[in-house]
């Protein structure tokens, strides 16, 4: 998978280079690296959310965290307050949305489908808020934000974007590192985890807040790119042919996520020739088929575990 990723980033850089201009190369390279980083963040976040909530459908887009983060970021953009950094507002929005979804779905007791439905309701509220902000605020100021915060695209990203999201990615990785060693026992059962002396609550909190930080880092650069985390984590499970969760699975999910986003961005950039498609729309198209496959292959009864039986 690693080799595939390197190939995809290389292809991203090379494809469509008419003039081997240094500036073009730099922009493309940074965009390729950025796509890989965001895809990896989304993939890892999806896997960690699934372990922490023991829920096969937990993922950045289905829990409403992406939409909440986008609404928060857009709010700052619309107010036009330069002293608040966009990612910080996005973090607050993402945490609020994720917390509300968790509460409404009964804190993990409601089952996977209920979590996804509560997340959809929260997403709808966040999306209404974003649309209202777009209508109400000065068009000149928010026009740039439309694509970035609502649809999700990598177009127009610069090398500086990579630098600006790096601290958030690092923070997310550092926080999740606290919980990662306990992924294996957490994925099995919380009773087992307690009986072997794992700090269950702390590990869960670390995984959840780490994944929210990773999602916020990605949303603040590219906007909400849906379903990457969900598809990556389930694909990683299939590739490993092992249903149980462990840190290697989280890592593989990150790599798969990076591959998915790089491939999708390559398609989005080249499919139409002169114009670009928003990459969020391409991954969104995969949403329904992916969800259907997951629904039909996974045990989704209420209170069921996160294990996807390879039946």
Partner 1 sequence: MTAALRRATAAPGAAAVLLLVSAAALGIGPIPVPPGQLINALSGAAEPRFVLAVQQLRLPRTVAAAGAGALLAFAGLLLQAVTRNDLAEGTTLGIAPAAGAAVVWSGVIGPVLPGWAGIAGEWWVRYGCAAFGSVLAVGLILLLHHRLSARIGRSASAGAETLVLIGLAIGASAQALITLGLAFGNASTQATLVWLTGSVAPATLTHGAITGGVGFVIIVLSRVLCPALDLLRCDALTAHGRGMLVRNPQAAAAMIAALSVAAAVGAAGTIGFIGLVAPAIARRCVGSTHHRDLIWLTPLVGAAVVLLADLVGRVALAPIELPVGIITGFLGAPVFLAILWIRRTR
| Cβ-contact 113, 183 below 8 angstroms | no
Confirm or reject binding of residue 113 to partner 1 (CB under 8 A). Answer: yes
- Which residues from 252-291 bind partner 1, rule CB under 8 A? 272, 275-278, 280-289, 291
Nearest-approach distance from CB 105 to partner 1, in angstroms: 8
> 64 — alpha (psi -120 to 50), left (phi > 0) or beta?
left
- Helix (H) or strand (E) holding 184, with range, is helix 183-188
**What is the rounded CA–CA span in Å between residue 290 and residue 311?**
17
In whole angstroms, the minimum distance from the beta carbon of 156 to partner 1 comes to 14
Residue 29 binds partner 1 (CB under 8 A)? no
Non-local (6+) Cβ contacts of 252 within 8 A are 1, 236, 239, 240
The DSSP element (H or E) to which 206 belongs, if any, is helix 200-222
CB 282 within 8 A of CB 222: no
Question: In the set 25, 295, 305, 307, which binds partner 1 (CB under 8 A)?
Answer: 295
The answer to whether residue 170 forms part of the interface with partner 1 (CB under 8 A) is no
The closest of 233, 197, 201 to 214, measured between CA atoms, is 233
Q: Which is nearer to partner 1, 11 or 117 (CB)?
A: 117
Q: Is 104 in the site for partner 1 (CB under 8 A)?
A: yes
Q: Count CB atoms within 10 A of the CB of residue 90.
A: 30
CB of 57 to partner 1, least distance (A): 8
| Only segment of 29-37, 127-135, 186-194, 246-254 that touches partner 1 (CB under 8 A) | 127-135
Cα separation values, 241 from 44, 101, 235, 247, Å: 18, 31, 10, 15
Q: Binding to partner 1 by residue 75, rule CB under 8 A?
A: no
- Which tokens sit at 64? 């409403």
The yes or no reply on residue 99 touching partner 1 (CB under 8 A) is no
Please say which residue, 29 or 117, places its beta carbon nearer to partner 1: 117
Of 6 and 288, CB closest to partner 1: 288
In the complex with partner 1, which residue's Cβ is closer, 65 or 165?
65
* Residue 111 makes contact with partner 1 by CB under 8 A: yes
Closer of 98 and 280 to partner 1 (Cβ)? 280
Total of residues contacting partner 1 (CB under 8 A): 47
Stretch that binds partner 1, among 45-53, 130-138, 182-190, 256-264 (CB under 8 A): 130-138
Residues 6+ apart with CB under 8 A from 265: 12, 31, 32, 35, 154, 279
Q: Which is nearer to partner 1, 1 or 125 (CB)?
A: 125
Least Å distance between CB 287 and partner 1? Answer: 4
- Given a contact cutoff of 8 angstroms between Cβ atoms, the answer to whether 72 and 219 are in contact is no
Site string for partner 1, 144-163 (x = CB under 8 A): -------x------------
DSSP string, 136-175: HS-HHHHHHHIIIIII---TT--HHHHHHHHHHHHHHHHH
Binding site for partner 1 (CB under 8 A): 57, 104, 106, 110-111, 113-114, 116-118, 120-122, 124-125, 127-129, 131-132, 135-136, 151, 226-227, 272, 275-278, 280-289, 291-292, 295-296, 300-302
């Amino acid at each position: 998978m690693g080799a595939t990723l390197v190939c995809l980033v290389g292809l991203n850089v090379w494809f469509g280079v008419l003039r081997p201009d240094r500036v073009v190369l730099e922009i493309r390279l940074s965009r390729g690296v950025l796509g890989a980083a965001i895809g990896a963040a989304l993939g890892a976040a999806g896997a960690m959310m699934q372990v922490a909530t023991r829920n096969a459908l937990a993922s950045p887009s289905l829990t409403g965290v992406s939409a909440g983060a986008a609404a928060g970021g857009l709010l700052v953009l619309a107010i036009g307050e330069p002293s608040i950094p966009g990612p910080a507002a996005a973090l607050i929005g993402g945490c609020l949305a994720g917390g509300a979804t968790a509460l409404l779905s009964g804190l993990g007791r409601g089952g996977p489908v209920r979590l996804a439905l509560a997340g959809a309701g929260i997403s709808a509220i966040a999306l209404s808020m974003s649309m209202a902000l777009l209508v109400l605020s000065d068009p000149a100021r928010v026009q740039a934000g439309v694509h970035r915060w609502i649809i999700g695209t990598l177009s127009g990203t610069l090398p500086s974007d990579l630098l600006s999201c790096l601290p958030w990615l690092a923070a997310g990785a550092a926080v999740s590192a606290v919980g990662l060693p306990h992924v294996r026992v957490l994925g099995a059962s919380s009773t087992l985890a307690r009986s072997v002396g794992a700090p269950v609550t702390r590990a869960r909190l670390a995984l959840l807040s780490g994944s929210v930080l990773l999602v916020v880092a990605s949303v603040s650069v590219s906007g909400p790119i849906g379903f990457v985390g969900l598809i990556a984590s389930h694909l990683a499970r299939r590739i490993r042919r092992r249903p149980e969760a462990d840190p290697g699975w989280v890592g593989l999910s990150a790599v798969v996520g990076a591959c998915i986003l790089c491939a999708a961005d390559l398609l989005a950039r080249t499919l139409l020739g002169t114009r670009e498609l928003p990459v969020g729309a391409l991954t969104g198209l995969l949403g329904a088929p992916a969800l259907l496959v997951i629904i039909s292959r996974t045990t989704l009864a209420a209170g069921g575990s996160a294990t996807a039986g390879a039946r």
